[in-house]
Structure 1
């Protein structure tokens, strides 16, 4: 059984445990594996720093976990990786990590064991562990993306080459007589090839039988088999699985091996957790944390909306809508995205947000944490993306394709002005796209030049709302998911404003004659 990228969606844990118990009733020896990114994404993490999730994971009897990039988010805080250290030490399961050096971090040194252990202790990190399943020895080792150095705050924690680390672990297990090997990976299924991904790992290292993946939030409804090496030559099969995100699924995988440890059969599926009843014991544990969360949701963020920040929807073509018109709320959201993205990459020139992802208005009066989360409830993250001017034009043509009808993919924008002509046919409507230069002037986008933009991971990584060109950019390694919570970016932006009102600025203008 496997999960990944739960991102503190702690409220779903009781349903996850029901699914786990159902699998264990049929297969008592099944391993339960977490492929990382338990940290960051909701108020449960903001308030409890992983301890709420850990209480429930301990109840679920996990066998092993590896580290996601978000486990290192607190490295630049005054306390550094203290919360991560406590998360590790209080766990009733071991961690695996073969390409991460913890030795220079004051909070984490002393927790890591370089050997592949057949007797791992709870609350410790190992390069690999050996578990017995149905009388067979299985080696498990962990990998974390080297991109963590750019998209998180590892500070004194460093990362080594994942291919070399994986080969070393396969060789080590072989020395110990183990020929069934599982990589617990947080490097992404098909993520940025400049850094690392599971498809490259499977092709490059012979001897990995299963990759339990995370990081790219990929929904692999069926396992993927890689049976060719990097040169296209036949190799022993490697089965790759990944279970999407946010505890929405419990992944399952059964594998058959021959006497030499070669995969000769497999069967895998994703079990939706939303259909499960809550486990009563887990629900009781969760309740001790949810009361505090509800209290926080009602807390004011220190900002007052002078007028309601509307989120209009259209019933006729003449009506204004968040899915076809510029809105003040869309502008504030994208301003926050642009400001935050620039702190990571000063080349970012604009930001955009799909209108379909803006889900509620903000009423006039004091704004609460709950108000902010209700506007952006999907737990989306901020990503940067390199596009040509031609691709940007294609994107805005998609944005305006349905006008005057609504389109969830309508793009709100910051750092730019876009003119379109709705009297023209769809696909020929963009008149001009200009970005705001450092001196405050607006500069025309040129088709053949490259630009760095910011958006959310739903559009950039998944190509959501029909943005296949963004998905293509992701597949070509031109997208970096910064992993920063969209609602937290919005909250910061609201807190930076002197006045909050419902006025727009003419960023998106229909120039039809």
Structure 2
């Protein structure tokens, strides 16, 4: 059995890591004099010089290269590993071969780990056996990532069998080998040291693929409490690949007391410290108008990109806007797109911001959000005119968001975008999403929310700028070991800066009184998960009031009981109490649902009653009756909706605007009917955080006198 025939690359990550290894240099000047060997014919001189100059081999013996001698598998492995840039100092997984001498173990382990070879048989590498030209064809095609057609077993050569055919063809098509003669490849012949030198020399001359590494964040929303661990993660990724680009897809603003107190400047100091390369605007960057945003931009030590935000007449932003694509961006200014040089290659980055911003934030009348498809097409054209064929879109439009613009549609509609680093919809894309609608694939990534994750993406481009391989993952910043200690230690400089410069002010804010309750408000687990409560009513009233300011047609609000975590005592309500009640920072979503879907949701809500259920809904804008003694799914007996101050029976054929939180809107707590609406694009995500909405409502209603009003009735309990 030819064991190596079964060896395949284990995953895309391995291929990319191998391709990222530092390459050796090629130089043929003065070859004849430089080799120093007496047995090197002219046709091998350049190849031998290449190997010796790059310290891949010192030859067979003093003054002799051994050009016409066969090469053993272990020596071929050592030379190939060095040619690929692997080093003896690095650590590799033990391949488990028992016949490899110590001098070659590192090289064999490296090639095995990266999928180049699995040896002759389990546990046996065949270290001292001569490698054949057929076996070498497999190693070379795999090591250099040649395009291999596994079905093309026939070759121009009469001596190549089916198992080697695809690899020999790949070598011929790439120019690594023309065979020994027009009809003979010499597949079974022992590979000579001179031939191996030629193969490695030609391999170094193959058109080089380009690896682009991106480190990405989005929708951090002022969650900087774990920024010291985030710094450690970013530092580790940068150490692994110093040429990585660090980018953010928007919504740094709004979401925690850090933003309320410092208006984004706390976040910015850490972003500057970490060395971000670019950021696009999220909708929440406009929450306080354009003045705080302008201050944020001016103090940034990186440029911003946003091709579809036109603020040329805005008093605060106009002087910062550059309606152009440039390869010389200035920190603290905004461009349609920028060109970054990475390892000698040009990479274009442009930005897009959701048009929903106009209605879900406060940009003012002088900021225009232009059509994202048209502006993306213009940006791509500008890059292509500048000779850039590797293009990244840094977007805040949502992955498959129903607001009218989203990343999947962008990928399908606009050719030429290679990578989309997205935000806005808070999607946790554990693996990159690939769209292959156009002539070239587009890779889409998004890293959830609140600095919970740092995303990584590696993409390999061919010489024409097309993505040929990709690999990505999300790294959990607050991941813990089995003993509950954190995986990533805190960066001491960042930790101290947070503790001394920012946290004390937040502790003071937590103690501030934000409202007053005339009586205790019931948020106990056993209550909010089984029945209507006064606190549940107050929270949904606040949610409905906020939603109406965004979409006046909103008539219903729904809050899962599992999202209410504590009660509030009578008397003064502090900010810390509010945050204890709502610790998750769930954001507002507005769904377009049919009456039938609403009724199905209410059935799901009470399906376990009277047992506790985190999916149990607290409601505003409607009242309903159910019978817990009936079979689940057939318990809801009546539903009425408050429309214009009058309760009318729910019309199952009618569409209603319904407010909830994004967790529930995306199908959390098994609300499958909401997930269908989300996937259909019937959910808008204005994104206001629950505790902010609640405290805003408290400020407008300082003497809270919430009560149980008969919004939810279990007739079986009467």
Q: TM-score range by the shorter chain?
A: over 0.9
Please state if 1:167 is matched with 2:390. no
Give the CA RMSD over aligned residues.
1.3
In structure 1, stretches of 5+ residues that fail to align are: 76-80, 230-234, 315-320
- Superposed CA offset, 1:91-111 (max 9, x none): 000001111101111000010
1:291 to 504, 509, 514: 504
CA positional deviation for 1:449:
1.1
Q: Tell me the distance in 2 between the aligned counterparts of 1:502 and 1:482.
A: 26
Please state if 1:176 is matched with 2:386. yes
- Superposed CA offset, 1:342-388 (max 9, x none): 22222111211100000111122211111111111111122211111
Which moves more between the two structures, 84-93 or 467-476? 467-476
Shift of the 507–117 alpha-carbon distance from structure 1 to 2, 3 Å rule, reads same
2:283 to 49, 54, 69: 69
Please state if 1:429 is matched with 2:642. no
- Superposed CA offset, 1:225-271 (max 9, x none): 11113xxxxx2111111101111111001111111101111111111
Bigger strand fraction? 1
CA positional deviation for 1:82:
1.1
1:317 corresponding residue in structure 2: none
Q: Tell me the distance in 2 between the aligned counterparts of 1:263 and 1:174.
A: 16
Q: Tell me the distance in 1 between the aligned counterparts of 2:556 and 2:530.
A: 19
Contact 2:532 2:711 (C-alpha < 8 Å) held by counterparts: yes
CA positional deviation for 1:502:
6.6
Contact 1:132 1:138 (C-alpha < 8 Å) held by counterparts: yes
Contact 2:516 2:702 (C-alpha < 8 Å) held by counterparts: no
CA positional deviation for 1:340:
1.6
CA positional deviation for 1:123:
0.4
Q: Tell me the distance in 2 between the aligned counterparts of 1:373 and 1:470.
A: 26
Q: Tell me the distance in 2 between the aligned counterparts of 1:502 and 1:261.
A: 61
Please state if 1:508 is matched with 2:717. no
Q: Tell me the distance in 2 between the aligned counterparts of 1:342 and 1:206.
A: 38
Contact 2:400 2:681 (C-alpha < 8 Å) held by counterparts: no
1:33 to 226, 241, 247: 247
CA positional deviation for 1:312:
2.1
TM-score in terms of structure 1 length: 0.94
2:463 to 252, 259, 265: 259
CA positional deviation for 1:83:
0.7
- Superposed CA offset, 1:282-309 (max 9, x none): 11221211110010000112x3323322
Shift of the 417–182 alpha-carbon distance from structure 1 to 2, 3 Å rule, reads same
1:376 to 575, 578, 582: 582
Alignment of 1:87-166 (within 5 A): 87-155=296-364, 156-166=366-376
1:232 corresponding residue in structure 2: none
1:239 corresponding residue in structure 2: 443
2:687 to 473, 480, 483: 483
Q: Tell me the distance in 2 between the aligned counterparts of 1:216 and 1:431.
A: 35
CA positional deviation for 1:499:
4.3
1:471 corresponding residue in structure 2: 675
1:331 corresponding residue in structure 2: 537
1:85 to 279, 283, 294: 294
Q: Larger C-alpha radius of gyration, 1 or 2?
A: 2
Q: Tell me the distance in 2 between the aligned counterparts of 1:36 and 1:286.
A: 22
Q: Tell me the distance in 2 between the aligned counterparts of 1:344 and 1:173.
A: 37
Tell me the SS of whatever aligns to 2:633: coil
Aligned length: 493
- Superposed CA offset, 1:149-192 (max 9, x none): 12111112111111111111111111111111100011111112
Bigger helix fraction? 2
1:453 corresponding residue in structure 2: 658
CA positional deviation for 1:201:
0.8
CA positional deviation for 1:496:
3.7
Q: Tell me the distance in 2 between the aligned counterparts of 1:197 and 1:419.
A: 39
CA positional deviation for 1:495:
3.4
Alignment of 1:361-440 (within 5 A): 361-438=567-644, 440=645
Tell me the SS of whatever aligns to 1:32: strand
Q: Tell me the distance in 2 between the aligned counterparts of 1:498 and 1:48.
A: 25
2:84 corresponding residue in structure 1: none
Query: Higher relative contact order at CA 8 Å, sep ≥6: structure 1 or structure 2?
Result: 1
Contact 2:219 2:249 (C-alpha < 8 Å) held by counterparts: yes
Contact 2:538 2:706 (C-alpha < 8 Å) held by counterparts: no
Q: Tell me the distance in 1 between the aligned counterparts of 2:703 and 2:584.
A: 27
1:318 corresponding residue in structure 2: none
Tell me the SS of whatever aligns to 1:84: helix
Shift of the 127–495 alpha-carbon distance from structure 1 to 2, 3 Å rule, reads closer
CA positional deviation for 1:494:
2.8
2:559 corresponding residue in structure 1: 353
- Runs of 4+ residues deviating >4 angstroms: none
Contact 1:309 1:501 (C-alpha < 8 Å) held by counterparts: no
CA positional deviation for 1:457:
1.4
Please state if 1:47 is matched with 2:253. no
TM-score in terms of structure 2 length: 0.67
Q: Tell me the distance in 1 between the aligned counterparts of 2:394 and 2:306.
A: 9
Q: Tell me the distance in 1 between the aligned counterparts of 2:271 and 2:237.
A: 16
1:5 corresponding residue in structure 2: 219
Contact 1:326 1:412 (C-alpha < 8 Å) held by counterparts: yes
Q: Tell me the distance in 2 between the aligned counterparts of 1:425 and 1:35.
A: 47
